[in-house]
Structure 1
Amino acid sequence: MKYDSQLISKPYAQPRLQRTAWGFVTLGFWALYFYLWSPLATLVLWLLGIRTAFFELYTRQHQVEPFLLISLPIIAVLCALLLIGWAEYNRHRFGKSDRRGAQANVSLEEVAAGLGAAPAVAASLRDAKVTVLHMDDRAQPSAMTPSALAMA
């Protein structure tokens, strides 16, 4: 297959200002989309009794509950601070060095032994990009041919 620039979008090839502007346009259309669904969502919530629960919890007799009005934002801020603190603790503890080491190279003979195939098949698999692997009756690789996708 040939590369078609009209089918594949490269957003990072665009200028940052243009990407940001199109991001805001996309956000605006998503907001409009959700706004258009709001009457149906309101109907479903009303049928499930959510509207009644809202009035009972927050606006009983059309009064705002001061405890809920003050405590819920405080609890939300405390949860956010706790989450940020935990993330910063983990970043400080684990972020200094990468503890993952490089994997040792595996020899061609080890790959062939792991596959149960001849070293020539393992070498062909190593050198090819896209292949069709032929299996014998014992479900072990016996041969390999390059795929048509690799030649395009």
Structure 2
Amino acid sequence: MKFDSKVIYKPRSQPALQRGFFSVVTFAFWMAYAYLWLPLLTLFLWLLGVRTAVFELYLREHQVEPFLLISLPMLALASAVILIAWAEYNRYRFRDKDRRGAHANVDRQDIARAFGSSDEIARSLVASKVAVLRMDDSAAPVGVSTL
């Protein structure tokens, strides 16, 4: 297969101005898409009684409850601090620890048995990094060509 630069997208090779423009355009279209979902979201929230909750909490007295103005941002800030602290703790705890082990090498007999092929085909597959496997009509390997 021939390399096609249109298929493989490398954003870091684009100029920064072009990347920025595409990011702004993408964000604008996502916002337009989200705006189209607002009527359905409003209906869902109305069915859950959120309008009633807003009326009871904020609009009945024609004023906003000062406790809510202080407590809700503080709760959001506390949640953010706890989540960031937990993420940093895990990053510190698992830093420089590679828990992934190396895979055992597979010998030629296992490869030949798994493919249902001869030892010669398995030897060619082990010796090459890139190979094209030719199959017969019953999907059994009959040959291999290395690139």
- TM surpasses 0.5: yes
2:82 — aligned with what? 82
1:143 — aligned with what? 141
The alignment of Structure 1 onto Structure 2 pairs a total of residues equal to 145
1:29 — aligned with what? 29
* Unmatched segments (≥5 aa) in structure 2: none
Q: CA contact under 8 A between 1:58 and 1:68: conserved in structure 2? A: no
Q: CA contact under 8 A between 1:45 and 1:51: conserved in structure 2? A: yes
* Unmatched segments (≥5 aa) in structure 1: none
> CA 1:26/1:131 → structure 2, altered by over 3 Å: closer, same or farther?
same
RMSD: 3.4
Q: Percent identity?
A: 52
RCO greater where, 1 or 2, for CA within 8 Å and sep 6 or more? 1
> CA 1:122/1:49 → structure 2, altered by over 3 Å: closer, same or farther?
same
> CA 1:105/1:82 → structure 2, altered by over 3 Å: closer, same or farther?
same
Q: CA contact under 8 A between 1:134 and 1:143: conserved in structure 2? A: yes
Q: CA contact under 8 A between 1:112 and 1:118: conserved in structure 2? A: yes
Structure 1: how far apart are the matches of 2:32 and 2:121? 57
Structure 2: how far apart are the matches of 1:118 and 1:18? 53
1:71-128 deviation per Cα after TM superposition (whole angstroms, max 9, x unaligned):
1111111111111111111111111232334334222223334556532343355445
Structure 2: how far apart are the matches of 1:57 and 1:25? 38
